[in-house]
Amino acid sequence: MVYDSDHGPRRVVITGLGAVTSIGLGVTAFLDGLRSGRSGVKPITAFDTTGFAHANGCEVTDFDPAEWIHRVDPAELGRASQFSVAAARMAVEDAGMDLEEFRRRPALVSVGTTDAESRDLDTLVGVQLEDGPEKLPPVMARRAQAGRLSSGIVRELGLTDVEALTIPTACAAGNYAIGSGYDAIREGDVDVALCGGADAVCRKTFTGFYRLGTIAPEVCQPFDKDRKGILTGEGAGILLMESLESAQARGARIYAEVLGYGLNCDAHHPVAPDQDSLARCMEVAHRNAGVKPEDIDFISAHGTGTRANDVTEAGAIRQVFDAPPPTISIKSMIGHSMGAASALASAACALALTEGFIPPTINHRETDPECGLDCVPNEARATELNVVQNNALAFAGNNAVLILGRYREAE
Amino acid sequence: MSELVLSAWSVVSPYGVGSDPFSEGIGAGRSAVDALDREAWPGPFDRCGLVPDFTAAKYVGKKGTRTMDRVTAIAVTAVGRLLASCGDELTARPEQVGLVLGTGSGSVQSIMDFTRDSLAGERPYHVDPACFPNTVMNRAAGQSAIWHGIKGPNTTVAGGWLTGLLALSYAVRLHRGGHCARVLCGAAEEYSTQRAWLEWHGRGADEQSTPLGEGGAVFLMETAADAHAAGRAPLARILATRFGAYAERADAQQALADCVRSAVRRAGVAPEDIRLVAPLGADGKLGALEESGITDALGAAKPEWIRCRPLLGDTSAASTSLQLAAVLATAGESGLGPGEAALVTGIDRDGTVGCAVLGGADPS
């Protein structure tokens, strides 16, 4: 990259957070949940679970779209888009940015997802089986599109000078989306970005993981020797990002600075992760962010709680870190919220940097010696933090590692 | 900043597999929309721009393709043909090659088939686990990387009809951000009975009868220096991408006109330098607003218009990538000439607009 010497790449900071999660709506409730180690687990209600031996999940149960979505008719948005739009509203409010001011700025909207509106597609299959394909409800057929997760935000906020994309890079999509916003602001293409991820619990994905034998019967226990798998979850995390200059000019509170990120692809197996490739992705992220392994104060792991993920991820971490820092998984609290997962984990990292604590890995009894990491079991740990790392892995070997740093005024 | 060029491309289209039949068909203005075999493709449509005789077994091979769905096969084929046309040097450092692929919502057929098995089977978990990855929307990009050993960033992009333009913009930033040395970028869309029903029910009245189409296009993006070093003549420089949004349909024309003006200005070209324009061309009101918006922005310029939609059908997420391929096909084997520019545009029904401006390769 070559820059005009007078206009180096801009620094990028996070100044607003929106969170729709099974442990709380809005940044305050989410923070409280992370700090107190709240669990979002409950029996799934999104679909009829008859015939499954067990069906716990982490659903968002107290969400009223009308509370957050004002300009767009919520019925024109599927559940994932509703989450995405609501979280974007929250992020703008949390950033204290006047909406009129937001609209005047060139913006990027980038939302990651695994399933987009597959919840609607499930419902439409049900209608087909009952009444035939001729009878699909038009509004639902129309809204069941991945692009709606980002264009819904544009419509709700009334943006015009905006580039809006959805990034359906599965379970690492949140980090991909945040990375796209970082690049766009850094290089001066836009002034502000709303980036993150959203997904809704659906039969299709629960069934797929259940069939693979990776759904935990009760709770999610990342890095525990008795871990039994994932719990499917849902929600949205949207981060408002802007240049440091812009944040300073309006006196905004800065949660964290985005230091950089790394992406790569195993190009090896459709579902099984690859340790060496993941290790390389972390190294790329460190290099891009200008940090060394010993600078990382904790790792927010992908940490799904499956046997394969946790051992592979822990192995990759040990490959990169001589002395691995505390490594936690908020999936123990909010389940695997798919495309929202790494976005919500990024939001958690930003809050951790600001508030000075490491979120816990709950449901933890005994650490798997094969993982051998300090997962900050069950209780949050108060500590000063400077640099944190957020891992994300996806089907097809799509890895994304994000590095966030504490922003200090004196720098 | 070193500018990116398009230096190779491949296409799978209703004209057939490969750029030759595509270039010939677009050049002749011959429609590839044909009667649909209603037994093989039940659903609401009787005409379609289908890729003729296309199956994964035929074009990707029999081995390992039992569960490969159509959109994945289209993507794997398009990426494979692009790589084959460039030689081994391109993937000599596979971690330095990125892949950015646009999609609508993955394969809605794969997703809905999987749910159907869960709902209609004897047990709700009687589903084929080998088909589960097909239901995740990064499948086509991921499988293309696995099939061809591409280890750089692998990103799936979705944005309705603008998907191809958004993928292009994302890919430019990915490269500029230092995440890879070269990017393969494009989009793919399949025809399926489920996509057909969703479109049929979801469309507005003024576009309901437009036949669907399918296909995919993938482009090699690299610096001009890298292209020359590899013995490839750049076909076009990527000068600018630009996007915007409108709240009411009536504002779409103005939104696109502003978007095009801004892109042309950023590209540093004069409107009269634009030799080729490839609009999305939706049926009904949006298509008319699009052409008016372009005309407003380009003023007295008299470009040649390439209208893909009547020729290929509504190729949804692949639309703007196929428009870009049509520009390169029309420009010919040596690409856009010095001083020439081209414009690709789109207005999406969800309230967004976008465009890309390409320029002729530097004579050097």
pLDDT confidence tier of residue B309, bands split at 50, 70 and 90:
very high
B260 plus B217 within the same structural domain: no
What pLDDT is attached to residue B208?
Answer: 86
Residue entry with tokens 């190779």: B8
Distance CA A278, CA B143 (A): 18
pLDDT tens figures, B222-260: 999 999 999 999 999 999 999 999 999 999 999 999 999
Q: What is the four-CA torsion angle of A302, B140, A207, A80, rounded to 10 degrees?
A: 70
Final residue in a domain of this structure, among B229, B262, B285: B229
B195 plus B266 within the same structural domain: no
What pLDDT is attached to residue B220?
Answer: 98
Whether residue A2 is predicted with pLDDT greater than 50 in this model: the reply is no
B306 plus B183 within the same structural domain: no
Distance CA A76, CA A201 (A): 18
Q: Confirm whether pTM is higher than 0.95.
A: yes
| Known catalytic residue at A54 | no
Are the beta carbons of A52 and B143 separated by less than 8 Å?
A: no
Final residue in a domain of this structure, among B229, B263, B282: B229
Distance CA A377, CA A314 (A): 16
CATH classification of A259-405 is 3.40.47.10, yes or no?
yes
Distance CA B172, CA B179 (A): 10
Write down the mean pLDDT value for chain A: 96
CA distances from A76 to A141, A185, B90, B268 (A): 10, 30, 45, 40
- Tally the domains of chain B: 2
Write phi, then psi, for A383 (nearest 5 degrees): -170, 150
pLDDT tens figures, A375-405: 999 999 999 999 999 999 999 999 999 999 9
What pLDDT is attached to residue B58?
Answer: 98
Average pLDDT estimate for A274-287: 98
Average pLDDT estimate for B97-126: 98
Are the beta carbons of A265 and B106 separated by less than 8 Å?
A: no
Per CATH, A12-249 and A259-405 having the same topology is answered: yes
Residue B268 in contact with partner chain A when CB distance is under 8 A? no
Domain that holds residue B178: 4-229
| Bridge-based pairing state of the strands A56-57 and A107-112 | unpaired
B163 plus B195 within the same structural domain: yes
What pLDDT is attached to residue B234?
Answer: 96
Average pLDDT estimate for A191-203: 98
Whether residue B217 is predicted with pLDDT greater than 90 in this model: the reply is yes
Residue B345 sits in a domain of what CATH number?
A: 3.40.47.10
Domain ranges of chain A: 12-249, 259-405
Q: How far is CA B22 from the centre of its chain?
A: 14
Average pLDDT estimate for A108-118: 98
What pLDDT is attached to residue A409?
Answer: 77
For residue B41, list chain A residues with Cβ-Cβ distance below 8 A: none
CA nearest to A155 within chain B: B247
In chain A the first and final C-alpha atoms are separated, in Å, by 24
Distance CA B73, CA B165 (A): 22
pLDDT-wise least confident of A272-281, A400-409, B201-210, B216-225: B201-210
Residue B246 in contact with partner chain A when CB distance is under 8 A? yes
When CB atoms are compared, the residue of A117, A167, A394 closest to B157 is A167
pLDDT tens figures, A198-246: 999 999 999 999 999 999 999 999 999 999 999 999 999 999 999 999 9
Residue A210 in contact with partner chain B when CB distance is under 8 A? yes
Fold classified for A12-249:
Peroxisomal Thiolase; Chain A, domain 1 (3.40.47)
Residue B80 in contact with partner chain A when CB distance is under 8 A? no
Q: Which ranges of A69-133 would DSSP assign to H, the alpha helix?
A: 79-95, 99-104, 118-131
Are the beta carbons of B158 and A116 separated by less than 8 Å?
A: yes
B146 plus B200 within the same structural domain: yes
| Known catalytic residue at A171 | yes
CA nearest to A72 within chain B: B247
Measure A195 CA to nearest chain B CA, in Å: 14
Which residues 308-337 of B are in CB contact (within 8 Å) with A?
Answer: none
B84 plus B170 within the same structural domain: yes
The one-character DSSP state at B104 is S
What pLDDT is attached to residue A7?
Answer: 60
pLDDT-wise least confident of A72-76, A124-128, A164-168, B87-91: B87-91
Whether residue B207 is predicted with pLDDT greater than 90 in this model: the reply is no
| Known catalytic residue at A269 | no
The one-character DSSP state at B350 is T
In a domain, B284, yes or no: yes
Average pLDDT estimate for A187-194: 97
Mutation pick from B83, B138, B189 vs chain A, by most beta carbons of A within 10 Å, is B138
In a domain, B364, yes or no: no
Contacts of A28 (CB under 8 A, 6+ apart): none
Distance CA B292, CA B255 (A): 11
Measure B145 CA to nearest chain A CA, in Å: 5
Distance CA A174, CA A270 (A): 19
pLDDT tens figures, B149-188: 999 999 999 999 999 999 999 999 999 999 999 999 999 9
Whether residue A1 is predicted with pLDDT greater than 60 in this model: the reply is no
Final residue in a domain of this structure, among B229, B250, B273: B229
SS3 content of chain A, % helix, strand, coil (to 5): 40, 20, 40
